[in-house]
Structure 1
Amino acid sequence: MKFEETYTPSQSLLWFTQEPFIFRVLNKALRFQHVDILYQYRFLIRDLATQLSTQKKDEMNFHVYRGQVMTNEELQQVTKPTNQFVRFNSFLSTSRDREIAQAFAISSLIDESRQQMVLFDIEINSQINDTRTYADISQWSTFPEEQEILFMCGSVFRLTRVVQHESGLQIIELALCNENDDELRRVYEDLKHEYLSDARNISLLDLGNILKDTNRTVEAAKYYFELMNAVEDGDPLIQRCLHNLALLRYKQCDYESTLEYLQMALDLEVVSSEREESFICSIYNWIGNVFLMRQNFDRALENYNEGLKHKSKIDSRDQLGEIKLYANIANVYTYQKRYELALEKHLECLAMKQEILQDFQHPMIAASYVHMGIVYTKLKRYQEAIDILEKALDIQCKVLGNDHLDVGVTLYNLGVAYDEQKNYDRASQYYLEAVENFPINHAYFKRVQVAMKEIENKTH
């Protein structure tokens, strides 16, 4: 039977379990963020979530299991010490029967030199609310004896323990996580506020933002233009798209186009019936950033200060935009070598962040520490620089993960601090760690390579 002709929302689980092709395509798209496919199948993801939520039954705490093989690198990534949470991007199929899951892991092993047998032992506390939905789908399964429990894509689990069984099986113990109890919740809320402020046509805007943040600029631009063509003249989503197109150009160092898009967004927003002062503040901030990159410090300060005139006091998240302006003003002072003044502004900015966020483990706190560390290095206060950069690194590794670009930047700046201190061994160590976090076409990759070459020249 043809999917397009016979599919109905109430049959989403039936199709998902009975048609392996759909299962494989959708899960692969979720794992590797194939956004075109996800957009095409967005209705199915929505229907699966709805049907899973209707099938979920209250029951006592229980365990489910998933057996699979992982490459050595994948296992190392999941179980590294800084990981407190494990998130599955795809739909997660599990079984109530431990032996079935374990047998599947053993039978899937092909290359013992590159692969590990893994058993996920997942504890489900049914009293926890605000988790991703899950349900027993045995009645739809081709193999009902497996007692399959299916979790919605994006489920988050707390990593509790990793044990190596004498058989060689790696047992990873997880607990289903209350997303409101997740230490990343505040970060998620900020991202939702930034990206999901308007529910209309949000799928296209959200897809564009995901692509923008993963440096897939051509595809991101496609969705922004598609959205602008889909809405009526005067829709505020147009200036959101123009703003994000500007950020794409900014990443490409095309500052002329960046300014053009930002100016168009600004012109539309100031006359909009749904005008938002916080958004105008953001536009001026990015205009200032362009002039900062061009080393036109007077124009940068002019735009940062213009942005402050439009600061919004609606809620704390709007004040975060104001903080970015203060931080960038401090960065201008750093470029102008007015280091004491820059440090003073960064300290003020840090105090504001701490008051608003009430979360000293937030990436924005870490960003302030990094900026202060750079200034301390410029002031030759090396130990203070190292101490505060290590604090930043600790936050970033916990919240963002070891392989995030921001972690690479912090590692690089730790290398610079030790380099300036003439501790070349430690500097080299941090540079080597930093370079692993950047793609070869990234500006910091080249910057780290230059720094490592200079150390080599100094020590030989």
Structure 2
Amino acid sequence: MGPFIVYRGQGMFNDEFIKIRNNIGGLFAFNSFLSTSDDVSVATRFAKKSTDRAGKTAILFEIEVDPTVISTPFASLHNADCYDDGEKETLFSLPTVFRIVQVGEYKDNIWKVNLTSVGDNDLQITRLIKHIKRQIGEGNAIERLGRLMITLGELEKAEAFYELLRESTSENDKKEFAWIHNQLGYIKYKQGNYSDAEPFYTKACEIQEKMRPSTDLDLAVTYSNMGLLYTSLNDTSKALLYHQKALEIREKNLEVNHQDLATTYNNIGLVYDRRKEFSTALSYYEKTLKIYTQILPVNHRWLAKTYKNIGLAQISMKERMTGLNNLCKAMEIRKTAFPSNHPSIASICGIIGRVYREVGDYTTALKFYEEALDIGKRSSHIDYTRLAKTYYNISKILNELKEDEKALKYAELAVQSVDEVSMPNSSDAIKFKENLEQLQAKKS
């Protein structure tokens, strides 16, 4: 059997689609049994159903499957009698991983994502599959289904499911009742409805604290979730309280290099960062790094994020050269982990450029800003807001370097980029226009 093409149409939350669009060349996994059709019109009909749903993007996946490469079991139903409407279906088992080849606009407000099959002889792919299985979990069928919907980003469906489950579950079944409230809280948190998440988490916590030993790892998950919630609500005192409770349980029950410990250390570091207690934040980031360097591949994005956090904390402590060194480590990891036009590389280049600008090294700052600009312009999805900020920063540096004509040119580009996203009255737009007017006045 040779290579073949199948299609799948579906809606996807906008933020999840942006992740795909910004990850050309990276991996994408369908975390459940995958149903596809070899009839593009059938898949397109399914995609069209999502074009009028707020917060969702209609997607048509075009998937090139090479049976000699793909290791996930699949079944072709081309000869099944039951499909009297002409649809020919191919089912793939869980989880199926593909490489993102291309993303572009298709038609009728539908986006097309081209995927191609990959083998399982790649360490990155093996780790991703294990991670998905760990996320879905080993619980009962109901629990797996709920977790699966959350993993798929189908938060509205997940919420409706858990609400029905809550109504049909006795409060005497305390373990199940606490778990349902925790999941509902998590869904609200992921939706950005922080005030709605709080009562669900609080209820789950109250039940678990009464029925479980203080060393229970499920209780640590609830404490950690509450810590993240209060961080988002900027209540750093409560955030620290719950993260420390989670840490106490995990330190007693997990191995010293466990991933959940690293996550907890990082979460605590982020809270201290918000409180501008950078020395304490740094100590927790360093604990995170110590674990990650033992358990993660050298080019893992979490390592890059940790080096970035460490670098920014050090710079805030006026340890600029040490901080720059760690920011550069983050940049190098991202350059190996992501496609060359990935926005996360542009972001770290911009941060490094800003630091060099702050210390007065305008020539080096310009080099990094220009690299950020080049990446931003080559991105599969141009972020005009970020592009405008980069043009503005380059303009300011060129002005410092007395290159007035170039500074004026980039100031004009900054204003034009702002106009692309229709934000004329934003604080950034006003700042960009003031810079342009000052340079125009200087020229005259």
Q: Report the TM-score range of the alignment, normalised by the length of the smaller protein.
A: 0.5 to 0.7
% identity of equivalent residues: 17
* Residue pairs, 1:62-77, within 5 angstroms: 62-64=4-6
TM-score, L = length of structure 2: 0.58
1:384 aligns with 2:361: no
2:37 aligns with one of 80, 94, 102: 94
Task: Say whether the 8 Å CA contact 2:102–2:113 is kept in structure 1.
Answer: yes
Residue 241 of structure 1 and its aligned partner are, at CA, apart by 3.2
Residue 331 of structure 1 and its aligned partner are, at CA, apart by 0.7
* Residue pairs, 1:347-362, within 5 angstroms: 347-350=328-331, 353=333, 359=337, 361=339
Task: Say whether the 8 Å CA contact 1:236–1:269 is kept in structure 2.
Answer: yes
Is the alpha carbon distance of 1:257 and 1:370 closer, same or farther for their aligned partners in structure 2, counting shifts above 3 Å? farther
1:449 aligns with 2:444: no
Is the alpha carbon distance of 1:81 and 1:263 closer, same or farther for their aligned partners in structure 2, counting shifts above 3 Å? closer
Residue 265 of structure 1 and its aligned partner are, at CA, apart by 0.8
2:396 aligns with one of 409, 413, 420: 420
Give the partner amino acid of 1:377. Answer: R
2: CA distance between counterparts of 1:123 and 1:385? Answer: 38
1:369 aligns with 2:349: yes
Residue 377 of structure 1 and its aligned partner are, at CA, apart by 3.5
2: CA distance between counterparts of 1:430 and 1:61? Answer: 43
Give the partner amino acid of 2:192. Answer: N
1:196 aligns with one of 121, 124, 135: 135
Give the equivalent residue in structure 1 for 2:71: 130
Give the partner amino acid of 2:70. Answer: N
2:315 aligns with one of 327, 330, 334: 334
Is the alpha carbon distance of 1:143 and 1:458 closer, same or farther for their aligned partners in structure 2, counting shifts above 3 Å? same
1:143 aligns with 2:67: no
Residue 239 of structure 1 and its aligned partner are, at CA, apart by 1.6
Give the partner amino acid of 1:427. Answer: A
Instruction: Determine helix, strand or coil for the equivalent of 2:337.
Output: coil
Task: Say whether the 8 Å CA contact 1:269–1:276 is kept in structure 2.
Answer: no
2: CA distance between counterparts of 1:198 and 1:103? Answer: 32
1:178 aligns with 2:156: no
2: CA distance between counterparts of 1:261 and 1:171? Answer: 41
**Where in structure 2 are there 5+ consecutive unaligned residues?**
50-58, 151-182, 398-406, 438-444
In the TM superposition, what whole-angstrom CA distance separates every residue of 1:130-165 from its partner, at most 9, and x where no partner exists? 357453176473526444445679865755799999
Residue 266 of structure 1 and its aligned partner are, at CA, apart by 1.4
Instruction: Determine helix, strand or coil for the equivalent of 2:291.
Output: coil
1: CA distance between counterparts of 2:367 and 2:248? Answer: 44
* Residue pairs, 1:162-311, within 5 angstroms: 176-178=116-118, 180=120, 185=125, 188=128, 192=132, 196=135, 199-200=138-139, 203=144, 207=150, 212-213=189-190, 215-217=192-194, 232-233=212-213, 234-272=215-253, 276-305=257-286, 307=287, 311=291
Residue 327 of structure 1 and its aligned partner are, at CA, apart by 3.0
Task: Say whether the 8 Å CA contact 2:22–2:343 is kept in structure 1.
Answer: no
2: CA distance between counterparts of 1:246 and 1:161? Answer: 36
Is the alpha carbon distance of 1:270 and 1:175 closer, same or farther for their aligned partners in structure 2, counting shifts above 3 Å? closer
Instruction: Determine helix, strand or coil for the equivalent of 1:196.
Output: helix
Task: Say whether the 8 Å CA contact 1:246–1:259 is kept in structure 2.
Answer: yes
Give the equivalent residue in structure 2 for 1:13: none
In the TM superposition, what whole-angstrom CA distance separates every residue of 1:234-254 from its partner, at most 9, and x where no partner exists? 332322332233223222322
In the TM superposition, what whole-angstrom CA distance separates every residue of 1:88-138 from its partner, at most 9, and x where no partner exists? 899655246x8x869989x99xxxxxxxxx998765433332357453176
2: CA distance between counterparts of 1:280 and 1:164? Answer: 44
Task: Say whether the 8 Å CA contact 2:272–2:280 is kept in structure 1.
Answer: yes
Is the alpha carbon distance of 1:368 and 1:290 closer, same or farther for their aligned partners in structure 2, counting shifts above 3 Å? same
Instruction: Determine helix, strand or coil for the equivalent of 1:215.
Output: coil
Task: Say whether the 8 Å CA contact 1:123–1:176 is kept in structure 2.
Answer: yes
Is the alpha carbon distance of 1:141 and 1:308 closer, same or farther for their aligned partners in structure 2, counting shifts above 3 Å? closer
Give the equivalent residue in structure 1 for 2:173: none
Give the equivalent residue in structure 1 for 2:166: none
2: CA distance between counterparts of 1:329 and 1:160? Answer: 34
Give the partner amino acid of 1:178. Answer: V
2: CA distance between counterparts of 1:292 and 1:102? Answer: 46
1: CA distance between counterparts of 2:231 and 2:395? Answer: 30
TM-score, L = length of structure 1: 0.56
Give aligned pairs, total: 362
Is the alpha carbon distance of 1:236 and 1:391 closer, same or farther for their aligned partners in structure 2, counting shifts above 3 Å? farther
Task: Say whether the 8 Å CA contact 1:159–1:172 is kept in structure 2.
Answer: no
1: CA distance between counterparts of 2:103 and 2:220? Answer: 47
1:345 aligns with one of 326, 336, 341: 326
2: CA distance between counterparts of 1:254 and 1:180? Answer: 44
**Where in structure 1 are there 5+ consecutive unaligned residues?**
1-58, 109-117, 437-444
Residue 221 of structure 1 and its aligned partner are, at CA, apart by 6.1
